[in-house]
Structure 1
Amino acid sequence: MIELPPLREVIARHGLSASKALGQNFLFDEQLLARIAAIPGDLGGVQVLEIGPGPGGLTRALLRAGADVTAIEMDRRCLPALRELETAFPGRLRVLEGDATRIDAGITGPFHVVANLPYNVGTALLVGWLGGEAWPPQWASLTLMFQQEVAERIVAAAGSSAYGRLAVLAQWRSHARLAMKVHRSAFTPPPKVMSAVVHITPAAMPEGVSARALERITEAAFGQRRKMLRQSLKSVPGALPALDSLGIDPQRRAETLSVAEFVAIARALR
C-alpha cells in the first residue's frame, strides 16, 4: 500500500476548511472510507467517477482499492491536495475542475459512481443519473452518501412516510438499498444530521414505459400528496381514464400506490 500523510495533516498543510456554501463535510476516518470504497465490489482496474472529492479522503480509498478515478471538484482550494494524489498514483487519477451538474466527465461506460455528495446538489445529481429514456445506463452502480433522511426516501417502501417520487424513480428500473449509516461525529465539522450510504444498481426496464411519462405522473401525484389521485392527477392528460382502466381507486393517495402501479399508469398513458 502506498504510504500517504494523514488526511488531517494534508488539510492543515493546505489551510483547508469545509465550506458551508458548498455543502462540504470532511471525513478523516480511513477505515470508514475504505468500507465505503468496498461497497461496489472489486474496483481493480475499474473506472470510477467521484463527485466533490474535497481534499481526497474517499479518493485515496478508491485508488488504494485499485480504481482508476475521475474526480470532479469545483472548490479550487482542494486542487493542490488532489494533485498530490495524482503524483502518488501516476495515471490513475484525473481531476476536473468544475460544477458536476454542468461538466461532462468524458467517461464512457461501464463505470461506477462513488461519492460523498455535497448536500446541496446530491438529489439533483441522483435524479439526473436515474432519468432519461436510454437504459441500461453507462454507470454500473451508484454508491452515494446523503443525509440519512434523503437516503431513507430513496429506499422507502410504499405506504411509509418517507415514500415519494424519489423512491419510485430509484426503484422502477433499479435496485436500491441502504448500505451503511454514518454517524454525524465522523465528519469535520459534524453536520446537524446523520448520514447514510445508498447503493443502486440498474435492473431491467419495464417494457412499454416512458421515463418521462413516469416522471410526469410522480411529479403530479406527489406534488399534492395529501390529495386524492382524482385531484392530483387531473392535470395529466389521460391519467384519470388510466386509473379507471387499471382498476385503481381514484380516492387513493399517492403514497399508497406501489412502484408497479405507477409503472402501470405510465404504460397506460403511452
Structure 2
Amino acid sequence: MTECVEASSRLTASELAFAPNATSPGHVTQPLLHLTVALLFIAGHPACATPCQFEAQGEGRVAAVVDARSVRLDDGREVRLTGIEATAATKQALTSLLVGRDVILRSTNDTPDRYGRQGALVFIGESDSSIQAALLAQGDALVSAEIADKDCAAALMASEAEARRQKKGSWADPSAIKNAESPDDILAGIGRFMVVEGKVLSVRQAGAMTYLNFGRSWTRGFTATISKRNLPAFETAGITLKSLENKRVRVRGWVEGNTGPRIEVRLVGQLELLGANEPTGVRP
C-alpha cells in the first residue's frame, strides 16, 4: 500500500501532458485535474486494488454535491462520504470530480444515518480506488478514523500521511497541525475537526472518564478524553492508555471545551503514537 501512495504522489507535470488544457473554458483547474489523474493512476496500480473493496451497496449518477461530505444521486438518494472530514477545498474538488459521473457505493452495510443519508466509500465506475483516497492523497480531506476495517483504515491513513509529508493541499498551511502546547490556538477552533500533536504529560481517570493531559494545568491545557465504555476497543487493539504518558501522540477529532480545549476520543484511529524518529507535523 505504501508503494501505491508513493507512486501516486510522484505524478509530475509531464505525466499530465496528455490532459486537456486546464485553462480552457469548461475544464477543471490544474490542481483538480492533477487529482483526477492521480485517481486514475492509483486505480491502475496493482498495489492499490486490495483495500476498501467492500460489498457494492448500489450505484447511480451524481446529480449534485450537497455539502463537503455529501452528494445527491439522480434518483434522489443522498450519500455521505465515509472515512473523511472536509477541508476548505473538499467541496470544490468533489464538484469537479463527481457531478455527472456514474459511481458505485461500497460499504459494510447500507443502513442510512439519522438524516437519511447512505454512508459509503464512493468509486467512479469500476475504479479500484475511492474518491476518498484520492482526496486524502492530495491533501484535500482529513481521515475521520470511522472506518473499522483495519486494512482500509490503514490505506486511507497512508494516503493522508504521504500528503502531509509532502505538504500538499491543506497540509501546506503552517497551522494545519495544532501544537498541544498552544491550547488557546486549539480553543479558537472550537466546533471544528482538528489534528493536534503533543506529549502526553499525564493520564488520569476520574469516574467513567480517562483524561490524557497534554498541559500541566488540567483546566486550561489541551486534553483528550476517553469514556469508560470505549476502553474495550483500545484494550483489543493492545493499547494501554497509561503507557501513553510521556509519549508523543497525534489526536484528531472535534474540538470542544470552555476554559481549556479537549477532543473526545471515541475511536482507536483517533490516536496515533508518534515514534521517536518520526518527524513532527507542520507546527504553527
**TM-score, with structure 1 as normaliser:** 0.28
- Larger gyration radius, structure 1 or structure 2: 1
Higher helix share: 1
Higher strand share: 2
